[in-house]
A = this chain, B = another copy of it.
Amino acid sequence: MPLGTEKGQLLIISGPSGSGKGTVTKKLIPCDNYALSVSMTTRNPRPGEVHGVDYIFCTKEHFMEIRDNDGFLEHASFSGNYYGTPISYVEQKIDEGQTVVLEIEVVGALQVKDKYPDAILVFLMPPTFDDLRRRLIERGTECEDEIERRTRRAREEMVELKKYDYLVVNDDIEQAMEDIHMVVKAEKMKPHRSQCKIEAFYGDNKNEY
């Protein structure tokens, strides 16, 4: 970490299906000092996917070794392949002063917060339940049963809202982005994230006064 650079933070963008967490995350990453948390996977790269950008590709043996050493913030398997968020990658970026963004569904988000309590948990929410339903329908990628299932799950996920640090309403995407930037800036003012400012305050006078 360069001298005088405050450490970064882990920002978890979560919320129900249809909250727009994917879109918000995509817009956050190009912003100054934001970095996407890159997942590790045992599946083979698809054409065009870049190691270290889209995923960190690894063998099953390597993945299991990390898992057994408690080296993932969270991990799961789909269709015989393993996926996980390596703590080491996140911590390296945080040490560099970056805000590492992890976009994840609600259950996973709460697991990460358990493991990494200093993470900032943002719950993204459409302004109304009707908006959420409309977004799922307009997306057009899910059948009616799946939409019903997702709205039911959204209702369950809303119960977890109180465990989150912040609630951001995603009505207007620009406003939602501004709200998230505000949260990140306010969090940087927490005393435990302000070591550099405190050191600058004392300067060479720590013992003089």
Contacts and interface: CB of A to CB of B under 8 A. Distances in A.
Interface of A: 123, 125-130, 151-152, 154-155, 158, 161-162, 164-169, 179, 182-183, 185-187, 189-192, 194, 197-198, 200-203, 205, 208-209
Task: Give the copy number.
Answer: 2
A136 to B, nearest CB: 12
Contacts of A152: 209
Contacts of A208: 129
Contacts of A151: 209
Given A169-B197, A197-B169, A200-B127, A161 B191 contact: yes
A164 B191 contact: yes
A197 B167 contact: yes
A166 B191 contact: yes
Counting chain B CB atoms within 10 Å of each CB, which of A130, A161, A191 scores highest? Answer: A191
A168 B183 contact: no
Contact of A205 (B129, B161, B168): B129
